[in-house]
Amino acid sequence: MSRKAEIVRETRETRINVVVDLDGRGDADIDTGIGFLDHLLSALVKHARLDVALSCRGDLEVDDHHTAEDSALVLGKAIDEALGDRSSIMRFGSAYAPLDEALARAVVDLSGRPHSCVDLGLSREDVGGLNMENVPHVIRSLATAMRATVHVDVLCGENDHHRAEAAYKALALALRQAVARDGSAGVPSTKGVL
Percent of the chain exceeding pLDDT 70 equals 99
Could you tell me how far CA 71 lies from the centroid of its own chain? 10
Is residue 181 within 8 Å of 141, Cβ to Cβ? no
State residue 194's pLDDT score.
82
Residue 101's contacts (CB-CB under 8 Å, 6 or more residues apart) are 156, 157, 158, 159, 162
Mean pLDDT of 62-69: 98
The span from the CA of 165 to the CA of 186, in Å, is 35
Q: Can you give the C-alpha Rg of the chain in angstroms?
A: 16
The span from the CA of 27 to the CA of 51, in Å, is 5
Phi, psi angles (nearest 5°) of residue 115: -160, 145
Is residue 90 within 8 Å of 182, Cβ to Cβ? yes
Alpha helices (H) in 90-159, listed in sequence order: 134-146
Mean pLDDT of 158-174: 98
Residue 190's contacts (CB-CB under 8 Å, 6 or more residues apart) are none
User: For domain 4-179, which CATH number applies: 3.100.10.10, 3.40.50.10420, 3.30.230.40, 3.40.50.2300?
Assistant: 3.30.230.40
Mean pLDDT of 6-29: 98
State residue 125's pLDDT score.
97
Mean pLDDT of 101-116: 98
The span from the CA of 128 to the CA of 149, in Å, is 28
State residue 1's pLDDT score.
81
